[in-house]
Structure 1
């Protein structure tokens, strides 16, 4: 019996090194695993610094899912770039405009904005909506000296980025905004199209002889008796179409518009009158006896700017100005090689993802039939 117990004890002693070795190996594994788990994991940045088009350094989120545009010009661009990211309007879009815009934009709250000297924005509403960034658009001549973006940013605590409203910089703005809000591919697509079509239109306009360029009066205000001169940010489309703007008036900044008398317009005697549809329609002038002796009225050369979903010319100056140039070029130069119907269809297909019917196309071209309420 003692021998059996001694043998059993010996077996246990001999087995101890094996168990110790085996246990030691297993004990080391969790330590190694724990060491691996403790290796530092690189955190993805949630913010980045950008330099906006006013030269300001702004820290913005790396992922932007919501945008508020402080001026209508920005809305028109973001509506074609990434409409699902717009969370509020400066002004309520018209029923006519909503026919061509995504349905979700119809339910967005109206919170006002900054329009020249007119400010209608509600700061509390902006803070409540809490967009990832605020987009502020202005002219190249004023952006660098405008303290409004910094004021908005200070009062809301939300990053404000500035972009240019200059027509020729539209492709650059598409690429820049596309990068800022995470829509680089879409921004590049729209920018490339804009560059090509803009260059083509200007090349065809430049080929028109000087002798064929009409004199034009740009009618604004409800009575048509206000206008802007050549070189104004409000007459860029006219300038690119190389017409002769008859308005010999003061250049005003901001909202522009210099009031004139009917006697001045009669003295200028333009060959063509272009009415800004936000103020006055062609029919208003054609049916007004005090305009009857002006050459444009006698010849029936009075037109209204198309304005849906955003004005093709101005107020706000926006991406639709490419179509404004193409359309007005066909008005001023009937023989120019621009198929305006096809250009409009192509533009709406790409920028608004809308396949225009012939009825819609006709309605877009005849603004006297539209309601802008």
Structure 2
């Protein structure tokens, strides 16, 4: 297969400081920017996760992130919040209700109108944020990429869903920001903790763990194409929805009752709490309900459900639930990781909030979880 990584170099001017340029002039401006930057070679050259080479016209100090996990990941790799010039509104909602919103209140004023439904960019708002680079999905069609590049913006693209994608994104952000040492430390830490979990994977019958996205209505679950499936298998458990190829699928109550999972996880993309399932008479026969093994997934610098810089903490949290060991040392691990990632250690009260102690108070084995 031919190597296509040398194609598709996108080099453009970093800022449009006036509104004098008519829309018809955009392609010409973009072409001029590509030539100027290629000759100047002032910024880093990176290969994004789609294999496309991108040469930046200068140092990266301001970033707009359209993929949801990218905002907090960029902050963690940079080691500071001021690198973020714009983000997806869904990223902001996690920050607003999570740890980062408390320790970096300035993030609450970062613009969130840079994208609409299905990651479609709001080009006018992105331009107004004056980014050095825009992070966008590269595997979801040209319709969400071309408007950005046609407007003269430098775009770096991501792929999504696997641990390799996660490590590749962290590495890419380090190259963009000149923070390779920090990004390497994050990736090396992930690999070491993954190895330890694999070596300690329990033998014998695997408990079943069903991840549900937490919607208020219906039962959307994570299939084999999801990162949640990877995490479930990593800790030695079994995903009853593993026969579903998709990342996400909605099932009926009959299927849920037929699967009868040992553990149910409720994600942070919806409001559902363990109490909602415990109080639902239609679910009273479920093993996870009878044994009080329904848990709301933690939310820290970002949601722990999808792949992010905090994924190793999710692995350890779930391993503690599956093995019924309570994940001893998890709380101190959160403190240690957050001191590096965000420069601030969470207080005991903040740890309780991150680990959803209140929401999970009625669930088994959670009273002293992580201590």
Q: Same fold (TM over 0.5)?
A: yes
Q: Deviations over 1:167-207 (max 9, x none)?
A: 245344323221122222322332333332232233223xx
Asked whether 1:219 is paired with 2:219, we answer no
The answer as to whether partners of 1:149 and 1:160 remain within 8 angstroms in 2 is no
Partner of 1:51: 47
3-state secondary structure, aligned to 2:86 = coil
Report the Cα distance in structure 2 between the residues aligned to 1:46 and 1:237, rounded to whole angstroms.
40
Partner of 1:194: 190
Size of the alignment, in residue pairs?
313
Structure 1 unaligned regions, length at least 5: 1-42
Partner of 2:135: 135
Report the Cα distance in structure 1 between the residues aligned to 2:101 and 2:45, rounded to whole angstroms.
38
Asked whether 1:295 is paired with 2:323, we answer no
* Cα deviation, residue 133, structure 1: 0.5
Equivalent position to 2:67, from 66, 71, 74? 71
* Cα deviation, residue 266, structure 1: 0.9
Report the Cα distance in structure 1 between the residues aligned to 2:173 and 2:144, rounded to whole angstroms.
16
Partner of 2:237: 243
* Cα deviation, residue 302, structure 1: 0.8
Report the Cα distance in structure 1 between the residues aligned to 2:106 and 2:259, rounded to whole angstroms.
47
Report the Cα distance in structure 2 between the residues aligned to 1:53 and 1:119, rounded to whole angstroms.
17
1:258–1:171 CA distance, 2 compared to 1 (3 A): closer
Report the Cα distance in structure 1 between the residues aligned to 2:122 and 2:98, rounded to whole angstroms.
26
Partner of 1:281: 273
Partner of 1:327: 317
Equivalent position to 1:311, from 303, 308, 313? 303
When structure 1 is superposed on structure 2, of 293-302 and 276-285 the one drifting more is 276-285
| Bigger helix fraction | 1
The answer as to whether partners of 1:246 and 1:268 remain within 8 angstroms in 2 is yes
* Cα deviation, residue 96, structure 1: 3.3
Report the Cα distance in structure 2 between the residues aligned to 1:237 and 1:148, rounded to whole angstroms.
31
Partner of 2:110: 108
Partner of 2:87: 89
Asked whether 1:126 is paired with 2:121, we answer no
The answer as to whether partners of 2:121 and 2:147 remain within 8 angstroms in 1 is no
1:231–1:129 CA distance, 2 compared to 1 (3 A): closer
- Asked which structure has the greater CA Rg, the reply is 1
1:330–1:295 CA distance, 2 compared to 1 (3 A): same
The answer as to whether partners of 1:272 and 1:296 remain within 8 angstroms in 2 is yes
* Cα deviation, residue 163, structure 1: 3.3
3-state secondary structure, aligned to 1:266 = helix
* Cα deviation, residue 86, structure 1: 0.5
When structure 1 is superposed on structure 2, of 72-81 and 89-98 the one drifting more is 89-98
Partner of 1:228: 222
Report the Cα distance in structure 1 between the residues aligned to 2:187 and 2:195, rounded to whole angstroms.
12
Instruction: Give RMSD over aligned pairs.
Output: 2.6
* Cα deviation, residue 337, structure 1: 7.1
Report the Cα distance in structure 2 between the residues aligned to 1:263 and 1:44, rounded to whole angstroms.
63
3-state secondary structure, aligned to 2:98 = helix
Report the Cα distance in structure 2 between the residues aligned to 1:349 and 1:48, rounded to whole angstroms.
28
Partner of 2:5: none
Report the Cα distance in structure 1 between the residues aligned to 2:59 and 2:154, rounded to whole angstroms.
13
